[in-house]
Amino acid sequence: MTLQAKQWLYAVLCIGFLAMSLSVYMSTENVDRGFSLMSEDVRAGKQLFQDYNCTSCHQIFGLGGYMGPDLTNCMSSERGPKYAEVMLRYGAIPRMPNLGLTDQEIKELLAFLMYIDKSGTSPPVDFEINSIGTIDIKHYQDDE
Amino acid sequence: MMNKDTGINFLIVGIGALIVGMFYGCFGALQHVYPELNEYFSFQKTRPLHVSLVIAWLYLGAIGGIYYYLPNKCGVPLYSQLLAKLHLWIFTITGFVIIALYSMGIFGGREYWAFPPILAIPIVVSWGMFGYNYIKTIFAVKTPWPVYFWMWGTGILFFLFTFLESYLWMIPYFGDSIVRDMTVQWKSYGAIVGTWNMLIYGTAIFLMEKVSEDSGMPDLEEAAPKMGHSKIAFLLFFLGFLNLLFGWAHHLYLLPSAGWIRHMGYLISMTELLIIARLIWQFRANFIAGTNRFHIMPFRFLMAADIWIFVNLALALLISVPAIQLYTHGTHVTVAHAMGSTIGINTMILLASLFFVVGDRKKVPNNGIVAKGFWIANISFFVFFVCLVAAGIVKGFGVIEEEQTYHEVQASISPFILVFAYSGLVMFVGFCLVLIPAAKTLMSASVTGVTGELSSSAAVEHEAIEIPPSGSADHLSGGKPDSAQ
Ligand code: HEM
């Protein structure tokens, strides 16, 4: 492989990468799901979720730590928001710590969890497996 | 204890990060079994301490090698010793600050970089110094670059890009939509893994070349200089690069992001692993011809990496099929995949590199202990890995097929998690037996002044190792073959 060929290949890959990155950044598919819920509380809740490092124990869309349950749809589960609120207020010692959250923080975290709940489904409940190994997941009730 | 050679100091800090990081890994694993431990030091702190420290090891180990090899083994003096030293100091101090903040329960960041975002600034600044120093250093080389120069440079450049990308959430356009936010977050994390793979696989090729060069076997010595310039090595590089750029999409199969994003990069990462496995296997075939070289530490760790590549390749192939990932995503199979490759492949290669440097200092640790540690670590790691996979499969089927609750799942995986935690403890002991003698050697080398003759700016290509007339490479292992068994 000549030096020039290497340089060309390198450049092509970099340009492809930049183009792909921009397309990912600009992709609008489902990004507005739950947007009607977006509010100052949700934003604050999202930051609190990071400040208390909830991801160390919890997953969203299956991504995160494995000590506690996936929280994507905990608000619409049969346990529902009341259970979540009790969890946040008192914890479930010793597994889920009582983080000493204030009423305001609990309200914001619940708003964030409600927002997450509307953004999709995890783990998948309604899905189809295709013959080539791909899957179609129905994330939203109102999908065709 | 400070060494004159910045590369060696990076390695010493890296060993420290790995040992402390594994300690927290063990603590976190035990917390899964005995949740009461949470009351003393919550998993909320142990997990990021573990993950950030072991990832720091991967970078520190790779960077240390690069700073050491360029002047001492490639005959290319560093452009600036000062920048390298600053890099080390900024990294180390930032690391201590991060550990302190985590321990106090102060976060603010995200998975893997859970520290407050402001601390990304010193990391980026010092990385910029590293990049500048590296570019200035290798652009002084007028002959064609071996493939590992390309790989190291690419790893350095793209770390900067993807690390910054992982902070895009701070801009509301990204942060305000969880779907876009998580898509970009995992795009960047996938590529960040690609950057450390670049640095580490580059190191693997470098090592194969140098170990062959000093093997005392005429055929191999003759072939050695070509290794870093071979077609297959460059093929590996470009495939790895392709994977770094486009292969992250398998993290996102279960997210409601656009279909084209989710279907991209299905098999790219697999091909890359195949090629590196082929490379190492080839190397082994050459090297083993005639004599048993297993007592040579760098060789031994490269062989371990090679075997783990096959194991991880099998797992990665399986879980990159979306229909299978449906069951394994969000389970311990993912943890097996993550630790399987960071320990089995990355850490083994870095340990090969570490022992290459140790051998180079001509001060040799107690090989018997290191060999014991090697076996203890590898065997317990196998148990550790199998338990994670088993727990993940049980969880996946429970959740998807039987819609089990969290508590039902926890109950059914608990036996696997128990064995996982204890095998992790044994593995920790095994790795300490390997790491502590190596660290001691590196630290004493500085005290006894061995550094003098290898002062880091001197271009000492090929002269640092003398090959005994018998043609054996025992100086790399420091002992007779039998002392290592
Ligand atoms: C002493 C042995 C070790 C033990 C007991 C251990 C234990 C753990 C535990 C408990 C977790 C968290 C899983 C969860 O969220 O529930 C974890 C995650 C992780 N560990 Fe280790 N670990 C060890 C060594 C290592 C080493 C040497 C590396 C790499 C150099 C490593 C890399 C990782 C990574 C990358 C993750 C994140 C996994 C993910 O997000 O899926 N670990 N480890």
Q: What is the pLDDT of residue B116?
A: 97
Q: What is the pTM assigned to this prediction?
A: 0.90
Dist. CA B145–CA B302, nearest whole Å: 23
Ligand 1 centre to CA of B11 (Å) is: 21
Give the DSSP per-residue string, B24-35. HHHHHHHHHH-G
pLDDT band of residue B437 (cuts 50, 70, 90) is very high
Q: What is the largest CA-CA distance in chain A?
A: 66
Q: What is the pLDDT of residue B270?
A: 64
CA dihedral sign, ordered B310, B314, B319, B322: positive
A33: nearest CB among B179, B254, B406: B179
- Average pLDDT of chain A to the nearest whole number: 88
Closest C-alpha to ligand 1, atom 17: B25
- The answer to the question of residue B175 being in a domain is no
- The answer to the question of residue B78 being in a domain is no
Tokens read off for B312 = 């991880």
Q: What is the pLDDT of residue A130?
A: 72
List pLDDT tens digits, range A55-72.
999 999 989 999 999 999
- The answer to the question of residue B160 being in a domain is no
Task: Provide the 8-state DSSP code for A59.
Answer: E
Q: What is the pLDDT of residue B90?
A: 98
Of B365 and B247, the structure prediction assigns the larger pLDDT to: B247
Which residues lie below 8 Å from residue B248, measured CB to CB, with a gap of 6+?
Answer: B186, B187, B188, B189, B190, B191, B193, B194, B265
Q: Tell me, what's the ipTM? A: 0.91
Q: What is the pLDDT of residue B460?
A: 30
Superfamily of domain A38-143: Cytochrome c-like domain (1.10.760.10)
Domain count, chain B: 1
- The answer to the question of residue B396 being in a domain is yes
How many other C-beta atoms are found inside a 10 Å radius of the C-beta of residue B289?
Answer: 11
Question: What is the count of residue pairs from A and B with beta carbons less than 8 Å apart?
Answer: 167
Q: What is the pLDDT of residue B366?
A: 65
Report percent pLDDT > 90 for chain B: 58
- The answer to the question of residue B16 being in a domain is no
The closest of B166, B72, B62 to B124, measured between CA atoms, is B166
- Give the length of chain B: 485
Mean pLDDT of the A124-134 span: 72
Report the Cα–Cα distance between both ends of chain A, in Å, rounded: 51
Ligand 1 centre to CA of B18 (Å) is: 11
Most A CBs within 10 Å: which of B27, B33, B173, B179, as the mutation test of the A interface? B179
pLDDT band of residue B274 (cuts 50, 70, 90) is confident
Structural domain boundaries, residue B344: 318-454
Q: What is the pLDDT of residue B323?
A: 83
Q: Domain-by-domain residue ranges, chain A?
A: 38-143
List pLDDT tens digits, range A93-105.
888 999 999 999 9
Report percent pLDDT > 90 for chain A: 63
- Average pLDDT of chain B to the nearest whole number: 85
Task: Provide the 8-state DSSP code for A96.
Answer: B
- The answer to the question of residue B334 being in a domain is yes
Give the DSSP per-residue string, B159-226. HHHHHHHTTGGGSHHHHT-HHHHHHHHHHHHHHHHHHHHHHHHHHHHHHHHHHHHTSS-HHHHHHHHH
pLDDT band of residue B272 (cuts 50, 70, 90) is low
Mean pLDDT of the A75-102 span: 93
List pLDDT tens digits, range B372-400.
999 999 999 999 999 999 999 999 999 98
- Asked if B183 lies within 8 A of A10 by C-beta distance, the reply is no
**Cβ(A97) to ligand 1 under 6 A?**
no
